[in-house]
Each structure stands twice: as C-alpha cells, then as structure tokens.
Structure 1
Amino acid sequence: MSERRPVAPNDLKAFWMPYTANRQFKSAPRMLVAAEGMHYTTADGRQILDGTAGLWCCNAGHKRPKIVKAIQQQAEELDYAPAFQMGHPKAFELANRLTELAPAPFEHAFFTNSGSEAVETALKIALAYHRAKGEGQRFRLVGRERGYHGVNFGGISVGGIVPNRRMFGTLLTGVDHLRHTHLPEQNAFTRGQPEHGAELADELERIAQLHGPETIAAVIVEPMAGSTGVLLPPKGYLQRLREICDRHGILLIFDEVITGFGRLGAPFAADYFDVMPDMIVCAKGLTNGVIPMGAVLATAAIHDAFMTGPEHMIELFHGYTYSGNPIASAAGLATLETYADEGLLTRGAEIGSYWEDALHGLRGLPHVVDIRNMGLIGAVELAPIAGAPTQRAFSAFLKAYEKGILIRTTGDIIAMSPPLIIDKDQIDQLVGTLAEVLQEID
C-alpha cells in the first residue's frame, strides 16, 4: 500500500469543486465561514451582501431560527428512517403542507435529494405514466435550448446549455429541443414579460409533426430560465405550450427549482403565469437551501394511473435512500412556516417594482447591452470581450466580491436573485455597488 501524504488543515487540493475554475479559486480562495440574514462573513471577517440567495436557494435568508431549531430537534429525535416500505410522520406532513401550498391540481409529492434528482424523477414518471396508460410508444422527451435541468443524464439530455452537454457523449436518445425564448433584438431592456416571441412555442407543433405526436411523452421547460441568464417567457408563450400539449396528449413539466417558493412574487411560477403543468419540479427553496431536498408535485391523474394491480406490489420502481429524509423534512416544514409567518412567498410582488427600477437604472453604464427582470430576479447582460467570452462578467464577479456583494455570472450575464427578505436600502447597496463595478472593469 502506498503511504498517504500528510495533509495540512487548510490544504485545498483534495476538494474538486463543482462548476468552479478550480485553479483560479485555489490561487486566491474566497472562503465563507458564517452567514446570517442577508450577509455572509468571509474568512477575513468581511461582510458580503448576498445578492444570489446562496445559489438561488436561501429564499428566507440565512440562519433562520425556526429552521435551525427544527434541524437540531430532529437530529436528536430521529436522525434517519428507511425510505422504502417504512415511513416517519414529518415526510407525510411536509407532503401535505407542500400540496396545500401548490396550485389546486397538485395532490401528491415525491421527494428527492436535489433538483437534478427531481428532474430525473419527473422524466421517469412521465415515461412510466404513458406505459401505465397503454401508450408505451411515447418515449420521446422535449426540452429547450439554453434550458437547465440539473446535471444527471436525463437533465443534461433535455437541457440545452452547450458546455453542460458537450463533454458527455450522446446522452439519452429520443430527445429534441425547442428554440430558446431570448430575442434581444426585439425585447432588450424589457421590464417583466417580453411582448415578442409567443410564436416560438409553435416549434413544439413542428417537432410533434416531425416525430409523430403519439411518440412524445413530455415537454420540460423552466417557466423562467434562470441558470442560463434569466430568460423570460414572452407573453402567451407558456399558454401556447399548454395548448399544444393538450392537443396531443403530451405531459407538460415545469422545472421550478429556481422559480418555486416566492422568487417571482407567487408561491410557484404556475401561479404567477396562471398556466398549470402536469408536474412541477422543485428543490432549493423547499428547505431554504439548508438541507438537500427536492420534490416532484404531481396531479391526481398521474398518481392514480399507477395505483392499480395488487395492493402489496410496488407501483413505481423508483426512489432514493434519502427520499423524505427526517432532517430534511423537518427543515422543509420549518422553512414553509417561516415563509408563511413573514409573507415571503408574495414579497417579491410587493418590492418588485423598486427592484425593477433599481436594476434598470444601470442602463447606459459601460458594457451593458440588456437588462431583464421579474419578481426578485434580474440579469444584466454585458458585451463580451472579443476573443475572451465570459471574462468580462467574471472580472465583475471578482471585483463585486472585493467590494462586498455576491453576484452570480453565467457566460457574460450577471444574474441576481437576493433573499426575499431584502429591503430597499440593501437593494440600493447591491445595485449601487454593481454600478461602481461596471464603471471600473474593462
């Protein structure tokens, strides 16, 4: 056996970081050691205003008392219970609370450990549903260009962000993609939903006729695409997708991992846009990002299609060791209570106009070619440096961190999605500091 080399307590080599420029980070680490409310604390004691709700997930801010207490108490009472053929009360309670919060058609929740797993679950349920209905010829899945649906094989197959796909071979077969909805030449600097582009949904009709609509199991889209840089659905677009799906018996899945739990000023984007899919995928804000957890919300029609045959038989051969984990369930319950206590699921609607005005005040600053917003989410798109794509936005990210704000970049787009507890002074600080950054970068 080879001898292990001694590792210093602060050695950064072993951790292969996700979605990170590892060499750059480890040459100049940005280490967060504590968090509370709207702020992170760095290893050198600085306060960083959180402009991204962690990673789109800490919707109620950080170190929330009810959530902390719930996790502590649950760990002491019941740390783990088997997820197969056994249960514990809080998983059932959370499922009830979640379906009460969701729009009326959704009566069942299947728990996972992340948004990526929830996407895989929804895709598998869609395929299995059609088989249960005697339509096993429906095997095709349709995603969208620039869509992000996590990092498992199903998710990157229906997803449409090129760097997420190009390294991993052929992925799933039988997958097609709609065009994305980003039309900057017509919709630049739009406040809220763009006016132009509803006809892009008709691409689904073309795909259906190409392959045969009877072969398509499901379409999955983010109602508002987040990780690709905040791409907003044009007015009427989601309604047209729903109509085409209904016409051809295709299931419609909303990936609400980002938009769920108040990000747009309503509990779910399905509420906000008044368009009901057949399944909703959620995660992130479900536990305020504190404990990994995701869920698939399904209608009674989908759930009940599986509830046939002998009662002792497993209806769906799918699940995870940690589905409905006790500590995650406790965190989820406390998170939903926190949202309810403080009215956070609709706060984005209340403060959204102030957020919108502040963001669009950046128009005209150096390098800014577009600004987009909805609810408490926004994007500032920058002109790329010729021959060095992503460099300008990454430079803005580094300088913003130095100045005490946390933003997120994707390509040459700066995306912001602050905790729903943000106040007007903090919006001024976040956007004002970003304005300084934009005037200082090359």
Structure 2
Amino acid sequence: MGSVMPSTATDLRQANLTRALRAIHTAEADLTRAQLARELTCTRATAAALAADLQDLGLITVSETELTRRRGRPSTRLTPAATGPAVIAVEIGVTCVRLATVGLGGRLSAVESTALQNHDVDHVLGLARDMLRERLRSTPQPCVGVGIAVHGLVDQLSMTLVSAPNLGWDDTDVVAQLDLPPGLPVRMDNVAHLSALAESSRGRGRGFATVLYLHAAVGLGGALVLDGHPVRGRRGFAGEFGHLPLGRSEQPCRCGGWGCWELDVDQPALARAAGRPYTARTVATVARKVLADSTRGDQEARSAVDQVSALLGRGIGALINVHDPDLVVLACHAADLLASSPQIVVEQARRGSMSAHRPALPPIEPAALDADGALVGAADSLFDFLVESPTALTGRTAASAAPLDRLPS
C-alpha cells in the first residue's frame, strides 16, 4: 500500500513500526532481529527498538533461539503474538460455510465448517451470522475485523454480492444481513481473488511476479496476480475465466452464457463425464469418488478424468497465451485433476499455447494452501490495511510511538 512520507521523527517512527510489523506479518517463517534489520535496511539497534515497541503493543513476542555452533550472542526470534489481534474469516461456499480465527502471520485456528441444507439466502446467511456471533463472543483474542469470501461476483464499489449463480443469488447485501457489530472493519471479495492473494503471498506463488491462479469446484474462477496484487478490474469482476467460451458443451451456463469453459472442467462436468448422478449437495463427493476410482482401475472413471483434464489443460494454454505468467497455480478440483493426470494437463496446455511459449512453458503446480486459501486471503485483505496503524490495532501506545487515529470501518 502507498503511504504519506513521514514529516516528523514521530511520523518516521510510526512508519518504521508499520514496515516492521508488515515484514513480520508476511514473512515465510519467524524472523530474527538481524533478518528484520536486513529487510528494513536499518541498523540492528533500530530493528531491536522496533521489535521492543511491537512487543509492548502485544503484537509480537521476542524470544531467544537456541545457541548455534558459532560464538556470540544467541539470535532472537520475532513471532506474531498468540494473544494478539485477530481477524475472523468466513467463507460462504456452495456446500458449506467455513469459519476461522486468523492472527498476524496468517495462522489459522479454530477452523469450523457447517454444511448447507439448501441455498436459500436466509438459511445460508443466517447460518453464517450465527457462526460469526458465536466466534466473536468466544474468541479470546481481540477481533479487529471480519473478512468475507463468497463464491460470486462482488462489486467493490458498493460491497454488494451482484451475482452468485451457483447459489442462485443476485444483488444481495451480504454484510448487512450478517448483522455485525457497528464500526467493526469488514472486507468482502470473491473466493478466487482472495485465494489467489493468499497463494501469491504465502503459498506456491511467493516470489513470482506474475501468477495465474485457477480455482475449480462447482464452477471455475481465478485471478491474475501481479506483484502480489490480484487484478480485480473496474468493479471487481475480473478473473471469471470459467466463463470464457472455451467449452465444447452446448448447454446454457448458470451465468447466462453458452459454451463456458467451466461446464467442461468443474466437478459437475467430471460427474457427467463419468455418468454418475449427483445433486448440488453431493457433487463434490461424487467428483472425488470418480477421481479415486480412476486410480483403482475403473476404466470409465479413468476416461472421464483424462477427458476433463485435457480440456482443463487446453484452457490453461489459452490463458498462457493471453497473460504470459511466470507460474500457473491450480487449486481444489483443478489441483485434483492435475494430480490425477499431470502429463495430460501439461501436454494439452502446451498444445493450446503458442509455439513461442512451448520451449519454456510456465510451471503448472498445485496450490500450497488449497482449501484454506480463501480464509487466509480474507484475513490478509483486512490485515493489509490494519497493519498500517500498529498502535490502532491494539488501542495501546508503545513507549516511543505516537498513537494514530482509529482506522475507518
């Protein structure tokens, strides 16, 4: 995020606290004070002072590590505080509602999942509301916001769920119906965008400048991530790759279009290809059973998996032509297809791409965070703003830092 240039010593101190907290929050593993100093390009003494301030605020803990074989003082480890502020992340899915408490550092705890009985908006959001109320009541950590991941198009200007075809919802004010405490910061976005954010900053995409992320379950979506930021588009609708007319199917899509790619590659597509009956509640289980049967010698299941994997690969090849990514990351059902038919997915991606790409096709790899990506991303979308004001995160003031105004909700 951009920030205003500090104009006073106090402002500079606050800016450095922010940089230090962000470095610790986004680090792949616990940092030492020496590593923090290198990350911030400052002296070890400055890094030590910043770490002490963050510990005073209750945001991190500073502990000595075991002595190494080298002589000298032991290193210190900077760890996000287990009792520090947390974001409650909720994923409103097609088959269930998932909830987790996420602290600084992106660590999930108390992950909870409740199956949906139907897609009625009152049932689904009522369930999510009850789960959130109980978590807000019972979590021992101070809650500094709620991050919401939804399977649908979210207008980032109005924060409205414009369309969720697989739930049958249109123009739904999700945040209002969750009845959250007044003033509590809230962020809501598409599952694929948030999963891509998490995967790029904490998962397989870490260190890559351009990542193409594809998430398939019931439907297929994704995001192009540039330097750690998903490309959301004018209203937040970018990344609906599953609705490109790359499919062979002549049936109408839930989005209102025809011949959409997702109709040939998602979980219902695999169930249909294998001739297995399914319902909205059973389709994920049926698709996983087809994948499992394909590894046990079931020829019909094997043929179905290979067919759907080939169509997935050809679509990936087309997207490589468009975006020229450094890495392609596949999550959930798409990752399952890659695991089951890796050679088919890669070869069809190669055949679907321009000849210029074929000598150095970008790697196609499974997501590291997979099913938890949306929850981690939902929390990080909030923490990305909240860490800008370390003192406001706790309502306390470090000995050498000035308090900031509270973040707007």
Q: Which has the higher contact order (CA 8 A, sep 6+)?
A: 1
Using the size of structure 1 for normalisation, the TM-score is 0.28
Structure 1 or 2: larger strand share? 2
Using the size of structure 2 for normalisation, the TM-score is 0.30
